[in-house]
Amino acid sequence: MKKTVPPEKLAPIRLVILDVDGVLTDGRIHYGLEEESVKSFNTQDGLGIKMLRHVGIEVGVITARRSRPLSRRMRDLGVRHLVDQCEAKGPATRALLKELGIAPEEAIGMGDDILDFKIFDEVGLAAAPSDAHPLALERADLITLRSGGRGAVRELADEILKSRFDLRALVREYLDTLE
Domains and CATH numbers, the chain: 13-140+150-177 (3.40.50.1000)
- Residue 28 pLDDT: 87
The CA distance from 110 to 69, in Å, is: 20
- Residue 102 pLDDT: 98
CA 65 vs. chain centroid, Å, equals 16
Interval 63-89: pLDDT, tens: 998 888 899 999 999 999 999 999 899
- Residue 173 pLDDT: 92
- Residue 36 pLDDT: 58
The CA distance from 103 to 116, in Å, is: 19
Is the Cα torsion angle 118, 22, 14, 12 positive or negative in sign?
negative
Low-confidence ranges of the chain (pLDDT < 50): none
